[in-house]
């Protein structure tokens, strides 16, 4: 895979090093990257390579299953938030044509006595691929931990207490999503596998996709390819963090394009982790992010209300 020329790169080991100068430098690099680009590549992210490899193997096994079996794991009442969503169901906000993908989502499992547990639907267990669900649950915790460290750095950059986000994301409504973009068999109507969009959540952590295709829209309105090194994950700002920071940190538009014709026969897999807080978190703009040059841009809203609004806009919730 090619290098990440297009987005800045940071080393999470700097933040966790215990060396105040390295830690402070990381905070500035991450914050600047999120103000200017909205995406970074993170090395030493703490999710073991072997776990990532297992995750991809299980995901490929699952999507190979016949449609009738996968469809048993599709639960429309859950708006795609748990289990399987079949090909052509989800579309980007503002677009009618569906994305060319099927996906599977795993959500939070509460392990303490937090009453938030009652608000989460149960995860859907896949019987046919024995290691699928356990591997997902393990990876879910890994992404949560890496995301927590990154949010600690973001909190410091914003002049907040380092642990500002910790209890807001503990038992949060995060989603681990495995996506399969199937091979292309006939001339596609458009060149797009996943139409341009911004992510809904606080931050998204994406482990190296199985193929090229991800592009971000830069400030000059050019589409720039993002391909990450195997040992890096790509982490971007979502709309909830953009809203909380009154547009100071950028939720950058991105999309997935079709491969060149000679690659049509290949599938593409990717596994984003959408880091959400608990639904009660207020997304009201931080005082420090409201200035004369950057006046208040959004109405107050909670994370839960905002998620509902967005799921309706992308066709998952009626
Ligand atoms: O497939 C990818 O690489 C990115 C997918 C994505 O942007 C999303 O699901 O929000
Ligand atoms: Fe996305």
Return d(Cα 166, Cα 283) in angstroms, integer.
Answer: 15
**CB 268 less than 6 A from any atom of ligand 1:** no
- The model's pLDDT over 45-64, given as tens digits with 9 standing for 90+, comes to 999 999 999 999 999 999 99
Return d(Cα 23, Cα 12) in angstroms, integer.
Answer: 9
What's the whole-model pTM score?
A: 0.95
**CB 199 less than 6 A from any atom of ligand 1:** yes
Ligand 1 geometric centre to CA of 282 (Å): 26
Nearby residues of 175 by Cβ (< 8 Å), 6 or more positions away: 81, 105, 106, 107, 201, 273, 274, 276
Return d(Cα 94, Cα 180) in angstroms, integer.
Answer: 22
90 vs 46 pLDDT, higher one: 46
Hey, where are the domains in the chain?
3-313
**Ligand nearest, relative to CA of residue 99:** 1
Return d(Cα 69, Cα 18) in angstroms, integer.
Answer: 49
Pick the atom of ligand 1 nearest to 101's CA: 1
Pick the atom of ligand 1 nearest to 255's CA: 7
Q: Whose CA is closest to atom 2 on ligand 1? A: 270
Nearby residues of 277 by Cβ (< 8 Å), 6 or more positions away: 165, 168, 169, 172, 173, 202, 240, 303
- The model's pLDDT over 92-140, given as tens digits with 9 standing for 90+, comes to 888 888 888 999 999 999 999 999 999 999 999 999 999 999 999 999 9
Ligand 2 geometric centre to CA of 291 (Å): 29
Pick the atom of ligand 1 nearest to 268's CA: 1
Ligand 2 geometric centre to CA of 76 (Å): 21
Ligand 1 geometric centre to CA of 41 (Å): 15
- What is the arithmetic mean of pLDDT over 165-189? 93
**pLDDT at residue 189 greater than cutoff 90:** no
Nearby residues of 200 by Cβ (< 8 Å), 6 or more positions away: 238, 239, 240, 274, 276, 306, 307, 310
pLDDT of residue 3: 42
Pick the atom of ligand 1 nearest to 204's CA: 10
**CB 7 less than 6 A from any atom of ligand 1:** no
- The model's pLDDT over 225-235, given as tens digits with 9 standing for 90+, comes to 997 677 899 99
- What is the arithmetic mean of pLDDT over 238-246? 98
74 vs 315 pLDDT, higher one: 74
Return d(Cα 211, Cα 21) in angstroms, integer.
Answer: 37
Pick the atom of ligand 1 nearest to 181's CA: 1
From residue 277, alpha-carbon distances to 96, 214, 252, 256, 305 in Å are 29, 25, 20, 26, 12
pLDDT of residue 262: 93
Ligand 2 geometric centre to CA of 195 (Å): 9
Fold of 3-313: Jelly Rolls (2.60.120)
């Amino acid at each position: 895979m090619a290098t990440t020329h297009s987005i800045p790169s940071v080393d999470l080991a700097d933040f966790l090093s215990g060396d105040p100068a390295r830690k402070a430098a990381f905070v500035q690099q991450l914050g600047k990257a999120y103000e200017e680009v909205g995406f970074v590549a993170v090395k030493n992210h703490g999710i073991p390579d072997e776990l990532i490899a297992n995750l991809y193997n299980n995901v490929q096994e699952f999507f190979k299953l016949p449609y009738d079996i996968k469809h048993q794991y599709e639960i429309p009442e859950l708006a795609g938030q748990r289990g399987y969503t079949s090909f052509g169901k989800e579309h980007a906000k503002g677009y009618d044509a569906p994305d060319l993908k099927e996906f599977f989502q795993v959500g939070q499992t509460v392990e303490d006595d937090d009453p938030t547990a009652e608000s989460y639907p149960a995860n859907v267990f896949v019987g046919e691929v024995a290691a699928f669900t356990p591997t997902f649950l393990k990876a879910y915790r890994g992404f949560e931990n890496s995301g927590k460290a990154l949010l600690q750095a973001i909190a410091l950059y914003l002049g907040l207490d380092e642990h500002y986000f910790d209890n807001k994301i503990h038992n949060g409504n995060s989603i681990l999503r495995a996506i399969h973009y199937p091979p292309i068999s006939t001339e596609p109507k458009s060149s797009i596998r996943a139409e341009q969009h911004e992510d809904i959540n606080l931050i998204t952590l994406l482990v190296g996709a199985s193929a090229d295709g991800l592009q971000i829209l830069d400030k000059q309105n050019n589409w720039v390819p993002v391909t990450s090194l195997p040992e890096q994950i790509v982490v971007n700002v979502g709309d909830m963090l953009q809203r909380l920071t009154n547009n100071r940190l950028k939720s950058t538009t991105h999309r997935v394009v079709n491969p060149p014709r000679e690659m049509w026969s290949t599938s593409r897999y990717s596994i984003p982790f959408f880091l959400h807080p608990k639904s009660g978190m207020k997304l009201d703009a931080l005082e420090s992010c409201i200035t004369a040059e950057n006046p208040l841009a959004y109405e107050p809203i909670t994370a839960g209300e905002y998620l509902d609004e967005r799921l309706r806009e992308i066709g998952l919730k009626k």
